[in-house]
Amino acid sequence: MITLVYGGSSSGKSEYAENLVCTTGYKNKYYLATMKHSDDAKDRIMRHRNLRQGKGFVTLEHDVDIVNAISEIDSIDSGDFSTNKADLDGEIVLLECMSNLVANEMFRDGEINSADDCVAKILSDVKELEESVSSLVIVTNNVFEDGISYDVGTKEYLRALGAINRKLAAVAEEVYEVVVGIGIKL
Amino acid sequence: MVLIVGGSYQGKTEYATSNFPNCRFFNQLHLFIKKRMDEGMGQEAILKEIHEAISEGDWVLIADELGNGVVPMDEKDNEWREVSGRILIELAKEAEEVHRVVLGIGQRIK
């Protein structure tokens, strides 16, 4: 089962998605981080870590090939993180964020992969991941409303992310758009 | 306090004046935030000044949503977008009502 959380930059979508995951009551919660470590990203990663502190997430880091998270989950998942009997059996994964994953898959190992290849690859990875866990929450970004005409490379990226967002929205059970921290069900 | 957000030229002001005729308006809040940032103020200080400005009477705050685009090349623009977003999240938590205006159509989201 997929839940999609969509929103602009600094819209509060991360915190909203984390709270959503926490209210589902699954015993095992994983945070699948797709952001590459760089100086620019450091502050943002620290902010997100602080947000998740105390919420009982195990962090997995895969900036490409998110299917590798499956074997990692299998190796960790020897017991339940939560001892709360009321919690649901199984595992929930919070993937954050699709916009980073698309950039990392597209501009990979010094090569530029086409939008179509990226879309097909990522959707297949997501499907495999979804099938191996109880629930998957995906955070993705609205980067489509500034009206600026970008260079060819950026346009390809926007096309890929837009296509993935639409495909995920079509198969998701629930889609939320987050505006100033408030989730609107679409 | 009522918060109204939306993109540029979506009819936020008209929506605000017709739906909240007896309130005082703090319009273009995102530009106020930019001005204060240019003067060297940080997120907390700006939020505090906004709180002080609206401490008396019934206020409607109106701001553009800035975050729905590609990360700006200019670091200052990027920071403005982020600080503005964070301040709006805080104000939305405090607001009795939050409305979002798209194509002149307002939707109450809180």
The active-site residue out of A16, A27, A35, A48 is A48
How many whole angstroms from its chain centre is CA B14? 15
Q: Number of A:B CB contacts under 8 A?
A: 72
Q: Where are the domains of chain A?
A: 2-185
Is residue A49 a known part of a binding site?
yes
Is residue A147 a known part of a binding site?
no
Q: What is the residue-level pLDDT of chain A in tens, covering all 186 positions?
A: 999 999 999 999 999 999 999 999 888 899 999 998 765 666 766 666 655 666 678 889 999 999 999 998 888 765 666 667 667 888 999 999 999 999 999 999 999 999 999 999 999 999 999 999 999 999 999 999 888 889 999 999 999 999 999 999 999 999 999 999 999 999
Quote the minimal CA–CA distance from A8 to chain B in Å: 4
Question: How far is residue B110's CA from residue B103's CA, in Å, rounded to a whole number?
Answer: 19
Joined together, the tokens standing for residue B72 give 């700006």
ipTM above 0.90, yes or no: no
The answer to whether residue A48 is catalytic is yes
Looking at domain A2-185, which of 3.20.20.10, 3.40.50.150, 3.30.830.10, 3.40.50.300 is its CATH number? 3.40.50.300
Q: Where are the domains of chain B?
A: 2-106
Q: B68 contacts in A (CB within 8 Å)?
A: 8-9, 142-146
Q: What is the mean pLDDT of residues B51-70?
A: 96
Question: How far is residue B83's CA from residue B86's CA, in Å, rounded to a whole number?
Answer: 5
State pTM to two decimals. 0.88
> Could you tell me the CATH superfamily of domain B2-106?
P-loop containing nucleotide triphosphate hydrolases (3.40.50.300)
B49 touches chain A (CB under 8 A): no
Nearest to A14 by CA among A38, A40, A33: A33
Of A43 and B48, the structure prediction assigns the larger pLDDT to B48
CB–CB of B88 and A154 under 8 A? no
Q: What is the mean pLDDT of residues B8-20?
A: 94
Is residue A134 a known part of a binding site?
no
B81 touches chain A (CB under 8 A): yes
